[in-house]
Each structure stands twice: as structure tokens, then as C-alpha cells.
Chains A and B, each alone.
Chain A
Amino acid sequence: GDSVTQMEGPVTLSEEAFLTINCTYTATGYPSLFWYVQYPGEGLQLLLKATKADDKGSNKGFEATYRKETTSFHLEKGSVQVSDSAVYFCALESGGYNKLIFGAGTRLAVHP
């Protein structure tokens, strides 16, 4: 079945460092791909998405490019802030009707 694999955390960075969180997927066809973020004590929020190959999703300085050749959707940010500390989930849309399959989540901690 469809699945998502993302790098294990926690990822600990200093403020203004470069961030990469790896995400690869296994799916039938070409599903839409998402990054969701979960701040402490809150639900998930959509960070960015891409619906077809070579699309780049971007939001709040974060970017991810849909690479079908490598079945990847890595999340990047050029300069992280303390406020980016959260858990990041990579997800794909599976089986129609917008059902989501999530990766295990990667906790990011950014220190001043």
C-alpha cells in the first residue's frame, strides 16, 4: 500500500541555519503531496503542497519540490527561526477522496 518515509528526528538547529527534512513516498500513480506542521498542543496545519511532478510548494520560507524520479518531497528552509520549532509531517493523498497517509513526523527544535 501507499506509504511515506521521513527522516527521524529530533532535528536540532541554531537560529538562521539551513533546514532539510527528507521525505520519500511509495504510491500508485502520482498522488498529491503535502507538508503539515504541528505546533505544541495544536492540531495540524497545512504548510505547503504540490499536486503534480516538478511542482514546487512554498510557504513562510519553506519549500518542497515534487520529484517523481526519486519519489521524494524534501522540505527545506534557508534560515530557520525559533518559532519554526514544531513537528513536521510529510503526507500523500491516497485512494482518492483526499484521504491522507502520513509519515512518522520529524521534530524540529531551533535554538537561539
Chain B
Amino acid sequence: DSGVTQTPKHLITATGQRVTLRCSPRSGDLSVYWYQQSLDQGLQFLIQYYNGEERAKGNILERFSAQQFPDLHSELNLSSLELGDSALYFCASSVVGGAGAEAFFGQGTRLTVV
């Protein structure tokens, strides 16, 4: 158990809909990262938050947004869903600071868009 909790584990929704994925980081970790894992794109970094503020942005679509709340949990919002958004979405957390800090990954949310 990595200490990172993601809910829900599975989500099936229709095209055009909006979903929210939730992540609770490890106790004490201020930084949260979201990654998308798909068969064609592999593991892609989406976005990072540190103590409530956005720190880095990757290949995140405009239809996607995220935020980190004062209690440090994070939510990834995906809207106007398309079939191609079907993927495994991972959240990770770490103690930022110093090279080589380990990122701890949750078990992921598998999103299926039908």
C-alpha cells in the first residue's frame, strides 16, 4: 500500500459527460501529480500541484482541469468526454525538494468512455 488513495477504482461513462477523479496523497506529502496511462500514448504527465498551487503542466487537454484543496486532496475533472479519453489515470504524491524524491502512486482510476 503506497498510502495514496484514488477513487473511484473504475468508472464507465458516456461520451460528452463529465467525471471527477479524486486523490488523497500520502500523509505529509504536499505535491500531487496526475498521469494518464493509455495504450497508444503510454504514461503521460498531466499536471502537478504543490500545496494548493499549480506547479507544472504537461499534455493536459483544455477539457481537463484539476485542483488541490486545503486538505491537500486533489481532483481531476474531465469534461466533454471522448472515446479516446478512456485510460488509466494515476495520481502520485511526493515530498518535493531535493533531487530524486520518490513519487508514490495510487492504484489508479480506470475510465471507460462508451
Give A contacts to B, CB under 8 Å: 31-32, 34, 36, 41-46, 49-52, 89, 93, 95-105
Contacts and interface: CB of A to CB of B under 8 A. Distances in A.
A98 B31 contact: yes
Contacts of A41: 107
A-B pairs, 5 with minimum CB distance: A43-B105, A32-B100, A51-B100, A102-B43, A44-B105
Q: How large is the interface on B (under 10, 10 to 19, 20 to 34, 35 or more residues)?
A: 20 to 34
Nearest to B55: A97
A99 B92 CA distance: 10
B114 to A, nearest CB: 21
A105 B31 contact: no
B62 interface: no
Contacts of B104: 46
